[in-house]
Chain A
Amino acid sequence: MSIIANHELIERWRNAPAPLLPLLHAFHDRDGYLAAEALRAISAALRIPLAELYGTVTFYHHFSREPQQPQRAPRVCTGPVCALRGGQELCHALADQGATAMPCAGRCDEPIPVLQGHQVLVGSAADDLVHRPAPLPPPNPGSLPECVFAEIRRPDRATLTGYENSGGYSGLRKAVQEMTPQAVIDLVSASKLAGRGGAGFPTGRKWQAVCDAVGTPKTVVCNADEGEPGCFKDRVIMQYDPHAVIEGMILAAYATGATRGFIYLRYEYPEIQPLLERAIDEVKAANLLGPQILGTDFHFELYVRRGAGAYICGEESSLLNSLEGKHPFPRNRPPFPVTHGFADLPTAVNNVETLASAAQIMRRGADWYLSLGMNGQVGTKVISLSGDIERPGNYEVPFGLPLKTLLYDWAGGPGAGRTIQAVTMAGLSGGFLAGDALESATLDEPSIRAHGSMLGAAGIIVFDDRRNMVAAAHNAMTFFAHESCGKCFPCRIGTQRLRERLNGEGPTGVESWLAEVADLGRTMKAMSACGLGMAAPLVTESLVRFFPAQVEQYVDGHKSHAGWE
C-alpha cells in the first residue's frame, strides 16, 4: 500500500486559496491524527510559525493530536437535544470503540447522530446506527407560500437539471444579462431581506457596502458553519437545494464585484462537502461559474472549505481568521468585513439561508417576498424545531406567525399527556421562553425581543413538563463554556463560573448563589467582546426568571448534589 507523501499533499494545496484547513484535513485523513512531523511540514510550507500552528490546531475540537484517538472512532452528540434522548448513554455504550462526546452535530430532528470517519450515522442505540440523509422539511402544514423551501421537495432539485427545470438560475441569467450590479443590489434592498444567520443585517446594505469598498480582489463567503445547538436548517438547504446557495453566492459576487468565494462548511456535515463540490463542477461546466460567466466579463471562482469543530467560527470574523489560517479568535470591530474581511479586503459574509433566499427573490421579485410575512412582518424564516415535540423538523414560517401555531398546529404539540414547560430561542443563545410568552409571542424579532430573548438563527428546542430546567441550563452552559474561544476575559471566565454554578458548585445559600449568577451575567452581557459571551447569560437569566422554584430547590439541595457531570 502506498501512502501519499508529505510533499505531494503540500504541493496539492500550498498555492490554493485558503490552504491551511484543507491541508490539515489532508494530513488528518491520511494519518488519522496530526503528527508532529506533519505540523512541521505544514509550518515550513505555509510559513506559519510552528508554535502558532500548534496552538491553532489545538483550538479545533475534531483535530486529533494523538495516534490512539483516530478520527475513525465514534463521536457521539451529547448536545441539548440529544441529552433528552440518551446521547450520554449511547456514548458510554460505544466506549469500547473509543467513543467520545461531541457538541451538537445539527441532526436534532432525528435520533442521536454519531460521526464516524466522514459519515454521520443516526440511531438510538449502539446496535441500530444507520447512515441516511437528514429528513426533508415536512410539507408546509399551513399551506402558506414558502421562499427557500418552495421547491426543495422536488426529487431532483439537487441536480443542475432539476434545479433549472424548477426555475433555478433564471434569476442569475436575468441579473447577468439584463441588469447592472446596482440594480441587483436595489432589488435585494427593496425585498428587505436581512441576514438569516441571526444578526438580521440588511443584505442589500451589506452588498452595497462591499460594492462601494475600495480594494480588490473582493470575496463572498457563505457562512455554513451552522454550530448553534438546535439549528439544522442550513444543512437541509445545502443537502436538498445546493444550487440555490451557489446561485445566491454568484449573485452576491455579481452585485459586489467579488471574484472569489468560499463556502465555510462546518466539520459535522461531512456528506455535504462532496455534494457541494459536485454541484460547483456542474455549474462551472454550464458556464455559470468560472471565467466569462454567460459570455460576459464577469468572473467568479468558488471553493469549499471545511471547518474542524469550533462554534466560534460561525462568528464571521473568527470564520475569516480560520479561513486565513490564523488562530480563530474574533477580530476587533470596526473595521467590519465589508471593508476589511478575507485577507483584509472587502468581503460579504452571508448565511446559507440568506443566499438561498436571494436566489428566489431575484427570480420572483421583491414584491413577492414582501408579501410573504404576516401581521405586518416581511418575509420568511426557517425554524429548526426539536426536543419534546411530536413532529420535529425544519419549518419555513412567515415572520409574525404565532409561536403556538407552530408548536401545536404545525408540529403537533408535545407528546401525549405532556405540556410544554419551556422552549429555547436562537438555538441556545436566546435562553428560555416560558409562561405567558408561549401563548403570546410571535415568530419575529420585535416580539421575541420584547420577551427578553431573540429569534436569532431560529432554532427552537422544546422541553416538556418532565424536564429539569436546571439540568437543561447546565447542558446549555456547558456548551458555551466548551466553545468560548478564550480571548476576552468576561466570557472565558464567566461561562466557566456559570457552568460550575449549575453543576452543584459555588455558593450553597440561595441568596448568594443568585447574587453571583446575576453579577456574572450582567458583566458578561455588557463587557464581552462578541455575541457568545453576551448571549450565554440569557440562559441563567431566563432560568432564574421563569423557574425560581426549580432554582431554589436545586440550590437548597446543593451540598448533597453531585452535579450533572
Chain B
Amino acid sequence: MNNRSQNRIIIDGVEVEFSNGETIYEAATRHGATIPTLCYDPRLNPFGACRLCVVEVEGVRNPVASCTTKATPGTVVHTSSPTLDLHRKTLLEMVASENDALAVDPLRGYASQELTQLVAQYRAATDRFAGQHSGHSKFEDDNPFILRDYNKCISCYRCVRVCAEQEGDYAISVMNRGFHTQITTEFNGLLRDSACTFCGQCVQTCPTGALGDKKALRFIEENI
C-alpha cells in the first residue's frame, strides 16, 4: 500500500500529508497552522482537557479536539472560523474568571505567559462570568525551589502529567472533582514530604505561572 498517496488531509483548504499515527493538531501545526492550546505540551500524551484546540471537521456535528484526534485520509479540517473563534474567546473568558489577576512575572517559568497571551490574542474579556475562584495557593509549602501559587492554576494537569510521563516520579496528582479540583501530593502535604525530586519540570510546563521557579525569582529580588 502506498501511504504517501493515501495519507493526505485538507487543512484550511490546503491538501497536506500526514504520517501514520499523527494527530490533526500535529499535522496542522507542522504545516504552519496556529491552533491555540493550554493543556498541550508536545512531550506529553495528548490529554484533551482545555478544548481550545478544537477544529471543525466536515461531516462531524461538534468540533473535535485536534490534539487527541488522529488524522485520517480525506478528512477536511478547518482550524479557524468565526464560530470556533467565538467559542475559544468564551472559553478563555471562562478560564480567566476562575482565578485572580492573570499577569505573572515571566521568570516564574518558561511557559508562564501562555494564558495571558491567548487572552490578549482573542481579546477575551477578563471581567465576564465573575464567580467563585477555584485555586488555593499553598504558600505554606516553604521548599526553596517551587512556588505553589494555585490561585493561578487552571487545572490543565500538565504538571501532573510531566511528573508522571517525563520524570516517572508520580509525586503529584489531582484531588476532588469538578470546580473543586486541586493539584495535590499524597495526602495533600508539602512537596518535601512527597515523592517530589524538585526537578522543576512542572514549573517549566505550567502555562499560567501557578508554579514558579523560586530560585530565579529570588535571584532577581536579591540582585536587582
Is the Cβ of B179 less than 8 Å from the Cβ of A495?
yes
Asked whether any CB of chain A lies closer than 8 Å to the CB of B101, the reply is no
Which residues of chain B in 126-157 are interfacial with respect to chain A, using CB atoms and an 8 Å cutoff? 128-132, 134, 154-155, 157
Asked whether any CB of chain B lies closer than 8 Å to the CB of A516, the reply is yes
How many residues of chain A have a CB within 8 Å of chain B? 46
Smallest CB–CB gap between B115 and chain A, Å? 11
The answer for the CA separation of A89 and B48 in the assembled complex, in Å, is: 41
| Chain A proximity mask over B196-210: 1 for CB below 8 Å, otherwise 0 | 000000000000000
Is the Cβ of B186 less than 8 Å from the Cβ of A486?
no
Asked whether any CB of chain A lies closer than 8 Å to the CB of B44, the reply is no
Which residues of chain A in 479-531 are interfacial with respect to chain B, using CB atoms and an 8 Å cutoff? 481-490, 492-497, 500, 505-506, 516, 519-520, 522-523, 525-529
Is the Cβ of B91 less than 8 Å from the Cβ of A481?
no
Asked whether any CB of chain B lies closer than 8 Å to the CB of A327, the reply is yes
Asked whether any CB of chain B lies closer than 8 Å to the CB of A59, the reply is yes
Is the Cβ of B49 less than 8 Å from the Cβ of A488?
yes
Q: A59-B176, A332-B68 are in contact. Are A54 and B90 (CB under 8 A)?
A: no
Is the Cβ of B87 less than 8 Å from the Cβ of A526?
yes
Which residues of chain B in 175-191 are interfacial with respect to chain A, using CB atoms and an 8 Å cutoff? 175-181, 184-188
The answer for the CA separation of A131 and B95 in the assembled complex, in Å, is: 46
Smallest CB–CB gap between B128 and chain A, Å? 7
Smallest CB–CB gap between B37 and chain A, Å? 11
Q: Total A-B residue pairs with C-beta atoms closer than 8 Å?
A: 147
Is the Cβ of B177 less than 8 Å from the Cβ of A486?
yes
Is the Cβ of B63 less than 8 Å from the Cβ of A527?
yes
The answer for the CA separation of A495 and B97 in the assembled complex, in Å, is: 13
Q: Given A49, A483, A523, which contacts B90 in the complex, CB threshold below 8 Å?
A: A523
Closest to B92 in A: A489
Among B8-16, B166-174, B213-221, the stretch that binds chain A is B166-174
Asked whether any CB of chain A lies closer than 8 Å to the CB of B211, the reply is no
Is the Cβ of B51 less than 8 Å from the Cβ of A484?
no
Residues of chain A within 8 A of B188, CB atoms compared: 54
Q: A58-B175, A327-B173, A332-B46 are in contact. Are A527 and B184 (CB under 8 A)?
A: no
Asked whether any CB of chain B lies closer than 8 Å to the CB of A435, the reply is no
Asked whether any CB of chain B lies closer than 8 Å to the CB of A147, the reply is no
Main secondary structure of the interface of B (DSSP, over half): loop
Is the Cβ of B170 less than 8 Å from the Cβ of A51?
yes
Residues of chain B within 8 A of A53, CB atoms compared: 186
Asked whether any CB of chain A lies closer than 8 Å to the CB of B120, the reply is no
Is the Cβ of A519 less than 8 Å from the Cβ of B90?
yes
The answer for the CA separation of A516 and B94 in the assembled complex, in Å, is: 10
- In the A-B complex, the 7 residue pairs with the smallest Cβ-Cβ separation, listed nearest first, are A49-B170, A486-B181, A55-B173, A484-B178, A496-B179, A332-B68, A50-B186
What are 19 A-B residue pairs whose CB atoms fall within 8 Å in the complex?
A36-B187, A49-B170, A52-B164, A54-B173, A54-B175, A58-B177, A58-B184, A59-B176, A483-B177, A485-B178, A489-B38, A496-B131, A505-B131, A506-B129, A520-B94, A523-B87, A525-B62, A526-B54, A529-B48
Could you list 15 further interchain pairs (A-B, Cβ under 8 angstroms) beyond the known A54-B184, A490-B91, A497-B129?
Answer: A51-B195, A52-B164, A55-B173, A56-B173, A59-B177, A484-B177, A486-B181, A489-B38, A492-B179, A495-B178, A495-B179, A497-B97, A506-B129, A525-B62, A527-B87
